[in-house]
Amino acid sequence: MVKKVLLVGADPYPPYQFIENGELKGIDYEVIRDVINSMGYTGVFVIQEWGIIEELFNRKKLDIAFQVTKTPEREKKWIFSSEKLRDAKEIIVASERCRHNFNDLRELIEYIKQEGLKLGVMRGYRYGEPIDSLPIYLKSEHGTVDEVLSSVNLGSICYSIIDLGIAKYFIKRKGLTGIKVLENLGITRALYVIFNDTALRDEFDQHIKLYREELYNKYFKKYLA
């Protein structure tokens, strides 16, 4: 029996989905692949910048896109999974040259406003409050994780918000000694999968609920142990 092919998209975000030496790898990629396979499908994956993925999905050139944050605006136009993919812990990374002692995220935000600094963010991402409501002139937008972490490491910007797993992965692999991870400053946001077909969403929800814990335990150990 020939498996139906699903076109699946996401933006590159190591260690969750990335291409290394021509091979597609990553925690979320392997989870999504295994869940799709358990449903009787095979996935063809497109890894591109989020703007390209969003355009392809809106034009129905993709069946699925994953690692997506819910917003009221997005829920009006996209079919979200009822089951979340996982929770992402977004934390602050700071340049070693800058202040580190903050009690919470809001204190850091007030400091950034007072000092006229910029917070590094990924272009097109939604983090939730209080990050999303920051005026654009207080944000330094970046297209890649490498770019934003290099800016913090060199002290070009003092602070950035980034996924904890990604921060640890890149700091270790790249030897970024000019960065301090402030794990006490952060937010947790749920990540979902979006679909262009409700029946496919419902089928996915059943399978991710069954296999999510087992698969994430397996692949977090593989990539972050």
- For the chain, the distance separating the N- and C-terminal CA atoms, rounded to the nearest angstrom, is 38
Nearest to 122 by CA among 151, 96, 102: 151
| Cα separations in angstroms, 22 against 12, 18, 47, 126 | 13, 10, 12, 29
pLDDT for position 194: 98
Which residue in the block uniquely carries the two structure tokens 């605006």?
A: 73
Q: What is the pLDDT of residues 92-106, one digit of tens each?
A: 999 999 999 999 999
Q: Are strands 64-68 and 41-47 parallel, antiparallel or unpaired?
A: unpaired
CA–CA distance, 29 with 16 (Å, rounded to integer): 6
pLDDT for position 39: 96
Q: Where are the beta strands (DSSP E) in 69-132?
A: 79-80, 86-95, 119-122
pLDDT for position 3: 62
Element containing residue 179 per DSSP (H, E):
strand 179-195
What domains can be seen in the chain, in order of their start residue? Answer: 4-86+190-224 (3.40.190.10), 88-188 (3.40.190.10)
Q: Does residue 225 have a pLDDT over 80? A: no
pLDDT for position 2: 54
pLDDT for position 144: 86
| Cα separations in angstroms, 49 against 138, 144, 175 | 23, 9, 25
